Structure 1
Amino acid sequence: MISTLMGEMSDDILEVCKELDYLMIHALDLMEEQIKCKLKLQETMKSGCLNLAKARYIMGHNNISSLQLPTEDSAEIAAQRTVASSVETKKNFEYMVFKLHTINLAKMSSGEQEEGNSIRRRASKDGSESKGKEDLNCKKIEDNGLVIATDPIKWFGYLVPQNLRQAQKGFHAALELVVQSANIQSELEATHKRCDKLLKLKTALIAIKSEV
Structure 2
Amino acid sequence: MESKDYENVCELLDKLYLDTLYLMEEEIKVNINMEKAMIEGENNLAKCRYIMGPNSVSAMNIPMNPEETISPSMLVKGSPNDLFPEVNSYQLHSVEDSKDNVSNPVKWFGFFTQQNLLNSQKFYKHSLQWAIQAVTIQNELKYLMKKCRVLRLVKASLAETEK
Which consecutive unaligned segments of at least 5 residues does structure 2 have?
Answer: none
Correspondence 1:84 to 2:102? no
Within 1, Cα distance between the matches of 2:60 and 2:86? Answer: 44
Higher strand share: 1
Within 2, Cα distance between the matches of 1:197 and 1:72? Answer: 54
- Structure 1 residues 85, 72: CA separation in 2 closer, same or farther (over 3 Å shift)? farther
**Which of 117, 120, 123 is matched with 1:164 structurally?**
117
Partner of 1:63: 56
Q: How does 1:1-80 map to 2 (within 5 A)?
A: 7=1, 9-71=2-64, 73-80=66-73
Which consecutive unaligned segments of at least 5 residues does structure 1 have?
Answer: 1-6, 110-138, 140-146
1:66-86 CA deviation, whole Å, 9 max, x = no partner? 111233624122211111113
Q: What amino acid sits opposite 2:54 in the alignment? A: H
Higher Rg of the two aligned structures: 1
Within 2, Cα distance between the matches of 1:18 and 1:90? Answer: 19
Partner of 1:103: 95
Partner of 1:188: 141
Partner of 1:121: none
Higher helix share: 2
Greater CA drift, 166-175 or 62-71: 62-71
The higher relative CO (CA closer than 8 Å, separation ≥ 6) is in 2
Q: Structure 1 residue 174: deviation in Å?
A: 0.5
1:128-178 CA deviation, whole Å, 9 max, x = no partner? xxxxxxxxxxx2xxxxxxx321x2211111101111111011011111101
- Structure 1 residues 74, 155: CA separation in 2 closer, same or farther (over 3 Å shift)? farther
Partner SS, residue 75 of structure 2: strand
Q: Structure 1 residue 17: deviation in Å?
A: 1.1
Within 2, Cα distance between the matches of 1:72 and 1:35? Answer: 42
Q: Structure 1 residue 103: deviation in Å?
A: 1.4
Within 1, Cα distance between the matches of 2:21 and 2:33? Answer: 19
- Superposed CA RMSD: 1.7
Q: Structure 1 residue 89: deviation in Å?
A: 6.2
Q: What amino acid sits opposite 1:38 in the alignment? A: N
Q: Structure 1 residue 95: deviation in Å?
A: 1.7
1:51-109 CA deviation, whole Å, 9 max, x = no partner? 00010111111111111123362412221111111333646x7222111111135xx24
Partner SS, residue 148 of structure 1: coil
Greater CA drift, 81-90 or 32-41: 81-90
Identical columns (%): 34
**Which of 124, 128, 139 is matched with 1:175 structurally?**
128
Q: How many residues align?
A: 163
1:16-51 CA deviation, whole Å, 9 max, x = no partner? 111111110011111111111111111111111010
